[in-house]
Structures are given as C-alpha cells and as structure tokens.
Structure 1
Amino acid sequence: MAKVDISLDAELVVEVMVLAGIGSPQDAVEAVVRDYIARGHRTEARVEFKERAVREAEAKPQEPQG
C-alpha cells in the first residue's frame, strides 16, 4: 500500500493518542482514520437499508379500504 507523509499539529496528535489509548502517533492517527471510514460505511449501509424498506413498502399494492 502506498504511504503518505503529512504534518499535523502536535497537540492534535497527542489528544488522539490519549483518547485512543495508543502510544504511537502513527498508529493513533491511523486508527482514527480507519474508524472514520468504517463509520461512514456503516452509515451508508443503514441508509441504504432504510431506503430499500421504504421503496418495498411503497411498491406493495394497497389493500382496499372501506
């Protein structure tokens, strides 16, 4: 996998390390990025599931009322 070098504010990285409980700055930031991506995928899956349920409910023929 290709690597990217970036510069971040030291206080920001230390905060991430403390919150994540990870001693390595590289590993802490990587964990945060991976978590962010995973949350995005979970959100997409939930939205897709809800939209599919709405479409299926709308597609069902309505029973006669009255």
Structure 2
Amino acid sequence: MTQVTVTLDANLAIDAMMLSGTKSPQDAVELVLRDYLARGRRTETRTGDALDGRRLPQRPSTDHEG
C-alpha cells in the first residue's frame, strides 16, 4: 500500500489521539479516517445514493396552492 505524508496541527493530532485512544498520531489519524469512511458507507447503505431516486415510482404532487 502506498503511504502519504500529511502535516497536521499538533492540537489536531492530539485530539485525534485522545478520540481514538492511541499513543501514535499516525495510528490515531488512520483510525479516525477509517471510521469516517465506514460511517459514510453505512449511511449510503441505509439511505441509498442519488441513483436510487430513479427507481421509485413518480407520484403526482398533492400540494395545492390556495
């Protein structure tokens, strides 16, 4: 796997370490990112994506003005 070096503010790295319960800033950032991506995938699975709207039947609008 290719690795990327990212420069972060020390306070941000410390917050990530405290959130993830790790002693290494690199491990902390990796865990936070993995969790963030996993949450996004779970949300997509529950709610669907933009293309799912095409599969639903189109209902006429029931809103009436006046």
Which consecutive aligned stretches of 4+ in structure 1 deviate over 3 angstroms post-superposition? Answer: none
Q: C-alpha root-mean-square deviation of aligned residues, in Å?
A: 2.2
Shift of 1:18: 1.0
Where do 5+ consecutive residues of structure 2 fail to align? 58-66
Which residues in structure 2 correspond to 1:12-23 (within 5 Å)? 12-23=12-23
When normalised by structure 2's length, the TM-score is 0.71
Partners in 2 of 1:18 and 1:47 — Cα distance?
A: 31
Is the helix fraction higher in 1 or 2? 1
AA aligned opposite 1:31: L
When normalised by structure 1's length, the TM-score is 0.71
Identity %: 51
SS of 2:5's equivalent?
coil
Greater C-alpha radius of gyration: 1
Q: How many pairs were matched up?
A: 55
Where do 5+ consecutive residues of structure 1 fail to align? 59-66
